[in-house]
Structure 1
Amino acid sequence: MQAIIYAIKKKILVGRLKAISIVAKYTLRQWLFKPLTKIVGLKILAQEDVLAEKDKYQVWEFGFPETVIADEIRESTDEIPQLIHSHTGVINFGKPFVFTVTNAQLVGPAVVGFDEPGNLIAETFPGIGNIKKYLPTRTLLFKSLPRIKVPQLETAYSLVNWRSQNYYHWVTDCLIRLKGLEHYREQTGNKPLLIIQANPLKWQVESLRLLGYEPENCIQWKVPRVEVKHLVVASAQRERRTPSPAACVWLREQMLSHLPAIDSEQNFASRIYISRANAVGRKVANEDEVLAALTPYGFKAYILENLSFADQVRLFSQAEIVVATHGAGLTNMIFGKNLTVIELFDSFLTPDYFLLAKALGFNYKFLTSGKKTQFQYSKKFNAVSVDIAKLQALLTKLLDTSDFWNVTQDRQPVNTIS
């Protein structure tokens, strides 16, 4: 038992040190950004620049424009956090597209793309809105080096970015953009080499397999720079931190259609509680009480780290209601249909799962620990205390009335074609 406690404490310490390292890197980048850009120069090839010259970049559009209504959370038992409130409103998506850049180069640990004149290709760098904070300094340094013995590729598509090791961003920034690559393949008959990060994580390999990409068909990024004769780039299918509903639906359908057969019926509960018992932080301090309160309503607890990626898809695809602490496990709501989501907060939050739920047309609720909830990286690992009385009242209201059944049976995504 002591060994287990020691391992958990060590994991938490490593997580906190990593968080401190990230903050230090952000500070260093901002300090070095101005002098480095003066030395190497930096201009942006933005989305509008590409669309203005469709013939030059061989632009292929697909799909349709969309609109998502991220409306206020109604009948909340707690005060709506300002960070969520500030992200409500109408979110418009343009028509997605895929294009090619000739004689491009991919540079640095985040595999940022540059065209032949040296302009940064915005669609290869999610987070372009805060380039000063997030662009790795090594990218600018490698870009400025002479092109001597640089490896060359004929046609390639990069699935690597500075956030691709994060589960949420892997799914919403990387996987959903493969829809653009598939459209390129349909239009041209060409199959670009897929670039993935070095030593991919197990769940990354599993998710790619479900989309038809085997590790042997990919190349791992293990060099500082590569020249690409034809770089294929898909537009970022997100606006204001919100993924495209159509892209999410495409991903869900692809995953479900490629799930491997199982020997026996997997009996997942339809009412699920996602436990962070194995996580670095944001564990539920009174989890035993939470489980005792949820069990009479038919909930079952799951630790997602104990499930394969395919089983996580299966779990959420048949779920009816999900209760979970703020964390990457909620990304899996993409694989669900007609969900009700209850997110638990303490002193740390981001609006990502609220926006994802709204994009998918799901019923979203939340509970806080009663503290002021805001984005505070230093508070990222704080434990969450759940008000049991409020949780029971919310569940009773949701599950013991006909309103819940009407919503779950009839709810449709709120996104519309513009």
Structure 2
Amino acid sequence: MGLPRRLYRRARPSIATIAQQTLDTRIVTRTRLFDNPPDDYTVYSFGTDERYEFERPRHVGDLPAVIESKVGECTVPAPFVVEIEDTTIIGPSALVAADGRIILESALGGYERLIDASVRALLAGQLPFETRFQRPEDWYEGPLFPLVGPWTTDYYHWLTDYLVQVFALEAYREQTGTDPTVLIPANPPGWLQDSLSLAGVDPDQTREWPGNRVHCSRLVVGALRRHTFSTSDGYIHSPAAMARLGDRIRDVVLDDGYDTDAVTCSSRIYVSRADAQDRRIRNEDALMSMLNDYGFERIVPGEHTFEEQVRQFSDAEIVLGPHGAGLTNAIFATETTLVELFGSYQNACFFTLANGLGHGYVSVMCNSQGNDIVADVSGIESLLQDF
């Protein structure tokens, strides 16, 4: 990570706080969307509140403080979808503005992500707000349903923040009889396109976002399916929504007679980050030497298609690996235990997801080597003797 980026990340929380204080009346938050929407906003509710009791998990070594902070009761609010008239969509992250106000849900609901999206817009030559000095370059009649924003092509966030919005899309369709065009990232990776199709979105229904500035007569936005705003210690995404999404995709893959000979399947999976830039297991050879004795298969998710990953994880009884997007595939397992390895970076998102899905969960604290991890091989082996 270069010096300018490190300085930006360090300054971003302060910038976000200033933005929240100074732009309060120019921001439409999730609470306002639901409780007191502006004129020309139509809200459609669906589903109910979700309530969870997250129990303190089993752990090897110290339990990360970010997980400890999530232990206890949690409510994920009922979802809704909102239709907004006469909007402007701005920049690569598709910020949504209407009548001079920014819709915060279009920036993943948080002011830090709003700052990120604004910077990306500025770097692309777009002012991150409605202004008479920059007119829309194109017009969409709508209705348009955007699945574009910060971290859209990050595997974890695509599944938990964006693809899960298929249920909001379907709720809107059921309540209005209208089928919106789905806006997706430009040049989407193959796994993203495959996941959309498997989740029930027809490719002919999609349109790639050019990343410029357009006007849309009717825009449809699904509320984020999670408990918290953007945080540094982990999201609590809706376990019910993720379970529904995982079940739907797994059932389609398995029911369609997917070629089981194309991939090998094991009930015990080690998720490697060998192709990542950080949180790699430095002593992976030693770890795998031990894991092989316990029947584990090593998988590098990025080396497989989306369908192959669904198939591989569908029958997993144990999923073990360092914190990373590949662990999201646990949503495709019917019943599993997630064993998550931590180094210097800790995040509670997979703890709350596994707990909410009814999966087992174990945290393993390991030593760090820079941004990578040195696995506690003996501690993991002692743990596995109980399975």
Q: Scaled by the length of structure 1, what TM-score is found?
A: 0.81
- Distance in 2 (CA, whole Å) between partners of 1:315 and 1:389 is 27
- Distance in 2 (CA, whole Å) between partners of 1:41 and 1:141 is 18
Correspondence for 2:212: 224
Correspondence for 2:106: 124
Letter in 1 for 2:271: I
Summarize the Cα distance change of 1:248–1:37 in structure 2 as closer, same or farther, 3 Å threshold: closer
Q: What is the correspondence of 1:388-407 to structure 2 with a 5 Å cutoff?
A: 388-397=377-386, 399=387
- Distance in 2 (CA, whole Å) between partners of 1:36 and 1:383 is 34
My pick for the range that moved more, 162-171 or 249-258, is 249-258
Correspondence for 1:153: 140
Correspondence for 1:385: 374
Q: Deviations over 1:225-280 (max 9, x none)?
A: 11111110111110131111221122112212322433454540011111222222
Can you give the 5+ residue segments of structure 2 that lack an aligned partner in the other structure? 229-234
1:73 lines up with 2:67 in the alignment = no
Kept after mapping to 2: 8 A contact 1:104/1:228: yes
Kept after mapping to 2: 8 A contact 1:276/1:283: yes
Q: Deviations over 1:5-61 (max 9, x none)?
A: xxxxxxxxxxx45xx564344467678779999999961212232323579533221
Summarize the Cα distance change of 1:144–1:369 in structure 2 as closer, same or farther, 3 Å threshold: same
- Distance in 1 (CA, whole Å) between partners of 2:76 and 2:17 is 32
- Distance in 1 (CA, whole Å) between partners of 2:20 and 2:172 is 33
Q: What is the correspondence of 1:174-185 to structure 2 with a 5 Å cutoff?
A: 174-185=162-173
1:348 lines up with 2:330 in the alignment = no
1:320 lines up with 2:308 in the alignment = no
- Distance in 1 (CA, whole Å) between partners of 2:82 and 2:113 is 22
Letter in 2 for 1:165: T
1:88 lines up with 2:71 in the alignment = yes
Letter in 1 for 2:242: C
Correspondence for 2:182: 194
Summarize the Cα distance change of 1:40–1:243 in structure 2 as closer, same or farther, 3 Å threshold: closer
Helix, strand or coil for the counterpart of 2:53?
A: strand
Summarize the Cα distance change of 1:27–1:107 in structure 2 as closer, same or farther, 3 Å threshold: farther
- Distance in 2 (CA, whole Å) between partners of 1:30 and 1:248 is 29
User: What is the deviation of 1:290?
Assistant: 1.2
Kept after mapping to 1: 8 A contact 2:40/2:85: no
Q: Which of 241, 247, 253 is residue 247 of structure 1 equivalent to?
A: 241
My pick for the range that moved more, 256-265 or 27-36, is 27-36
Q: Deviations over 1:111-163 (max 9, x none)?
A: 11112x21111222214253565342336824244253531112101101111
Asked which structure has the greater CA Rg, the reply is 1
- Distance in 1 (CA, whole Å) between partners of 2:75 and 2:20 is 32
- Distance in 2 (CA, whole Å) between partners of 1:232 and 1:247 is 19
- Distance in 2 (CA, whole Å) between partners of 1:36 and 1:164 is 23
Summarize the Cα distance change of 1:326–1:37 in structure 2 as closer, same or farther, 3 Å threshold: closer
Q: Deviations over 1:270-296 (max 9, x none)?
A: 111112222222221221221121122
Letter in 2 for 1:124: S
1:141 lines up with 2:127 in the alignment = yes
Kept after mapping to 1: 8 A contact 2:104/2:114: no
Q: Deviations over 1:305-344 (max 9, x none)?
A: 1211011111111111011111110111111122101111
Letter in 2 for 1:128: G
- Distance in 1 (CA, whole Å) between partners of 2:363 and 2:110 is 30
- Distance in 1 (CA, whole Å) between partners of 2:5 and 2:151 is 12
Kept after mapping to 2: 8 A contact 1:243/1:359: no
Q: What is the correspondence of 1:40-119 to structure 2 with a 5 Å cutoff?
A: 43-53=26-36, 57-74=41-58, 76-115=59-98, 117-119=99-101
User: What is the deviation of 1:202?
Assistant: 1.8
Summarize the Cα distance change of 1:323–1:23 in structure 2 as closer, same or farther, 3 Å threshold: same
- Distance in 2 (CA, whole Å) between partners of 1:221 and 1:327 is 27
Q: Deviations over 1:174-232 (max 9, x none)?
A: 01122101111122221111111111122111111212334443211114211111110
- Distance in 1 (CA, whole Å) between partners of 2:109 and 2:6 is 16
Kept after mapping to 2: 8 A contact 1:26/1:133: no
Q: What is the correspondence of 1:334-373 to structure 2 with a 5 Å cutoff?
A: 334-370=331-367
Letter in 1 for 2:339: I
Letter in 2 for 1:242: I
Kept after mapping to 2: 8 A contact 1:26/1:134: no
Summarize the Cα distance change of 1:33–1:274 in structure 2 as closer, same or farther, 3 Å threshold: closer
My pick for the range that moved more, 59-68 or 258-267, is 258-267
Summarize the Cα distance change of 1:95–1:32 in structure 2 as closer, same or farther, 3 Å threshold: closer
Kept after mapping to 1: 8 A contact 2:97/2:130: no
When the two chains are superposed, the root-mean-square deviation of aligned CA atoms in Å is 2.7
